[in-house]
Chain A
Amino acid sequence: EPEVTQTPSHQVTQMGQEVILRCVPISNHLYFYWYRQILGQKVEFLVSFYNNEISEKSEIFDDQFSVERPDGSNFTLKIRSTKLEDSAMYFCASKERTSGGLLLYNEQFFGPGTRLTVL
């Protein structure tokens, strides 16, 4: 069964360093997402990406964040200068197409997450 994969599973970095979190979405999917979950808190939407551009982003997704689909398979989240408060689980998700009505719900499939620890 196809699945979303993420690497690394755990990333430890020093404050101020740049990190790149990598995701391989399901191959025929067109919509890509990043979410984060700070320990003990809710899953929060960061950004959605479609047709090689950001379609929506939350207030969390500031200038320190960027996303890229550098080739046909990878989808990356870059944090330019990490802060302590960036420590969280980061989940990538992908979806085949947009939803529309009762019969056209399209599920977002989540990866297992990357645990980012900023020291």
Chain B
Amino acid sequence: QKEVEQDPGPLSVPEGAIVSLNCTYSNSAFQYFMWYRQYSRKGPELLMYTYSSGNKEDGRFTAQVDKSSKYISLFIRDSQPSDSATYLCATLTNNDMRFGAGTRLTVKP
């Protein structure tokens, strides 16, 4: 069983749409849950992180973690063409980070 599962997409939405990105994970020991954004030919950059269960909001972005169902979500409101990128979920325990496959998102003007 893969430790972090993520639908690779691709996902294409019109500008202004609400985007929902999701991951599931298998190891209940994971403590931190991150969303990274990766533009083409660049390294991943941290978008948001949460610790344990709950919601976290940062501008147009909301991250949710449900530890009971081992489910991680990222919502993007009022999506913009500049949001077009690959979004990677990741989990962390101690020093060990595990990534999902990444979902390629395109926001069309």
Contacts and interface: CB of A to CB of B under 8 A. Distances in A.
B97 interface: yes
Nearest to B49: A105
B96 interface: yes
A4 to B, nearest CB: 8
A18 interface: no
A99 B96 CA distance: 11
A56 B96 contact: yes
11 contacts: A33-B97, A41-B101, A42-B6, A43-B90, A45-B97, A91-B43, A93-B43, A102-B51, A105-B32, A111-B43, A113-B43
Contacts of B96: 45, 48, 56
Contact of A101 (B51, B88, B90): B51
Taking each of B44, B88, B98, B99, which has the highest tally of chain A beta carbons within 10 Å of its own beta carbon?
Answer: B44
A31 interface: yes
B95 A112 contact: no
A42 B98 CA distance: 9
Interface residues of B, number: 24
Contacts of B97: 33, 45, 108
Nearest to A57: B96
Contact of B99 (A44, A109, A111, A112): A44
Contacts of A93: 43
A31 B46 contact: no
Contacts of A91: 43-44
B92 interface: yes
A99 B44 contact: no
A101 B97 CA distance: 16
A42 B43 contact: no
Interface in A31-50: 31, 33, 35, 41-45, 48, 50
